[in-house]
Amino acid sequence: MIEYNYIKTRRNTVNLVQNMNENQLKAILKTEGAVMVIAGAGSGKTRVLTNRIAYLISEKNVLESNILAITFTNKAAKEMKERIYSLVGETSKYIWINTFHSMCVRILRQNIELLGYNKNFTILDVSEQKSIIKNILKELNLSEDSYQPNNILKIISKAKNNMTSVSDMRSQSRFGFMKNVAEIYGHYQNYLKKNSVLDFDDLMLKTIVLFEKHPEVLSIYQNKFQYIHVDEYQDTNVIQYKLIKMLSAVHKNVCVVGDDDQSIYSWRGACSDNIINFEKDYDNVELIFLDQNYRSNSTILDAANAVIKNNTERKEKALWSENKSNRKISIYGALNDKDETDDIARKILELNKEGIKFRDMAILYRTNFLSRSMENSCLSFGIPYKLIGSLKFLQRQEVRDLLAYLNVIVNRADEFSLRRIINVPKRGIGATSMEKIDKYANEYGLSLFEALENIDMIGVSKKITTNVHLLTNLIKKYSNTENYSIDELIIGIYKDSGYENMLKESSDPYAESRIENISELVSSAKQFSSMNDSLIDFISEMSLTSDADDENIEDAVVLSTIHAAKGLEYDVVFIMGLEESLFPSIRDADSSEDERNKMEEERRLAYVAITRAKERLFMSFANRRMQFGSIKMNRKSRFIDEVPKELTHFESAFGSTPSDKKDSNIEQANKFISNLSPKINITKKAKLSNDMNYSTGDIVLHKKFGEGKVLDIKTDSVKVEFDEVGVKILLIEYANLTRKD
């Protein structure tokens, strides 16, 4: 234990350490050498970090300019600056408190001329990057349809963050698509250097290059930064890790703060192994655990600890709190998704009557498409709400695109909607072609759609002519709306327009989420059709809902994905959609090891969700949920089963159900559905027979992965070992496998 009684006579120091627990105090006073603070959720890490910096200044007499503090967001950097200012005053402005990117900008402004760039370089925004890529595609005679600028930029970004150079990519990609991407990458980097501009990813990469090529520059900053601090260390990627390692090589006074149990961003490059590697790269690392939680009550923490302990790749620890509670966690097994969201809405109104403000309550979900049904229930029950980190469901691009198609189908004179979809998906119809089409329409007094019907007369390329014919024929085909239900219309447009292929072939990391949103739109349409067959009424309903004003927005329930809610806290938290295949969501695992890693990240995500709650926690799942217009039966998430039963109160739409009978709700739901509608017959066997013509052991063909052998079949997924790409786990609904006879 650190001796700290001597400091109590010194007023400033006392202020910095008062009301600190022993481990917090240890993290503040251990200033020399490598220190890793494993800070659990709600353990006061920000206060520890800021007070540690203040202690270095006021008690260790360290010059402010010799201190570096790195955060991940501008908001976090601003908060840290304000807190340190309140502790040490004006001198805090000399501390380097930056995000990784802003730190690199400061370094590059002073030294980038050594790399052949102007020190007054500009930083490109996304639209400028797209424009450059489009010009390069023209130079290389490559199609934008095949090499979509957004996707190309994401590949380049990933390459830079993995420190993959142009020459590396060229040597790794000698054939096909990636060979051309490597050439685009090369042209792109040449353009940037020629024009002395950098993109966002270059800021860190060029700093590394600068340090490697000019060690004298590195030496300046190594000697300058005597004390280095890094927040949210579990979210660092490969290049960020290397930057810290380089900068701390001389003084080796580096303090990193993070929590391996809250590492949930591997999909954007974060490497949780950095915490493990830290202990290997630095000598005599002081490991300090902040395990006292000041946010949640003991019941919530016991639940969180019980869930996360099932992960194997973690540092053993358990959060605890002095805030004891006998209130149990509520678990609700809903009949369906509407029952689930309506139950949440009713409970919110009850809690609000008890005096809990709307703004102190949050509804969290694994994936964005779940917000649709929750938004509907909030609107129905008159509950003000706001979304964090995403648009409202009906404002999302893919939803608006498909609704625009529906608008044109019922009203060909709707020029606004037609212009929205005319080149979505890409049909090669750019500004020049649109000018020709508009000129023709104006000259002959035609509507835009009528002009498109006469595309042969306008003088555009053969490719555009063909694509326009496909579009107008699509609109005409589905104009006979009486031949289709609304959900059939949406599915037909989605597939026949090329929208489906656009998303499935996209390398956009959000493509899967966009597909899920379309699935939810189809489900919404099917539910609407069961009550009203009018397409016009459906479109009107969507428009009115989309245009609904936010009321009392200052006091509104928060709807958020769990990712977007990280770092936030609420008195009351609802976690919805806790169903196997939905949360946890394990898709496209390349191997059993990959599957295990993904499951552990899903469990960390559950841990983050649970620890957002301060006083009350509600968890729910739906026994059946409509996705892509079909009803799917679900088992409750394993994360619910991992919460000790003595901590929970279980109820369901079928009455009180013993939570240890895993399939009891499924069985009851099947009976209920059978009695309600003899037409609905949902069993695993039916699912397989309807969607598949193959079984375990069969040789199958996939259009992208080629030939493979079926290893295992589950309710909604199939595991296949492909000759070229190895083992893949595919969703049956999207697998499109055919048996090789």
Which residues carry out catalysis? Answer: 45-46, 231-232, 262, 612
User: What do you get for the CA distance between the two ends of the chain, in Å?
Assistant: 72
The gap from C-alpha 258 to its chain's centroid, in whole angstroms, comes to: 20
CB 410 within 8 A of CB 539: yes
H or E element at residue 99: strand 96-99
Count of CB atoms situated within 10 Å of the CB of 391: 13
Q: CA-to-CA distance for 36 and 411, rounded, in angstroms?
A: 63
Q: What are phi and psi of 290, to 5 degrees?
A: -100, 95
CB 123 within 8 A of CB 197: yes
The β-bridge partners of 365 are 561
Count of CB atoms situated within 10 Å of the CB of 691: 14
Q: Which amino acid is at 446?
A: L
Within 8 A by CB and 6+ apart from 48, the residues are 20, 24, 27, 28, 37, 39, 257, 290
Q: Is 595 helix (H, G, I), strand (E, B) or coil?
A: helix
CA 242 to each of CA 208, 274, 592: distance values in angstroms, whole numbers, following the listed order: 8, 10, 29
Q: CA-to-CA distance for 536 and 411, rounded, in angstroms?
A: 10
With residues binned 3-state (H G I as helix, E B as strand, rest as coil), the percentages for the chain, rounded to 5, are: 55, 15, 30
Q: CA-to-CA distance for 399 and 149, rounded, in angstroms?
A: 22
- Segments of 605-692 assigned E as strands: 613-627, 630-633, 648-652
For residues 500-534, b (16+ Cβ closer than 10 Å) or e, as one string?
bebbeebeeeebbbbbbbbbbbbbbbbbbbeeeee
Q: Is 217 helix (H, G, I), strand (E, B) or coil?
A: helix
Instruction: Return the axis-axis angle of helices 215-224 and 200-213, rounded to nearest 10°.
Output: 100
CB 682 within 8 A of CB 631: yes
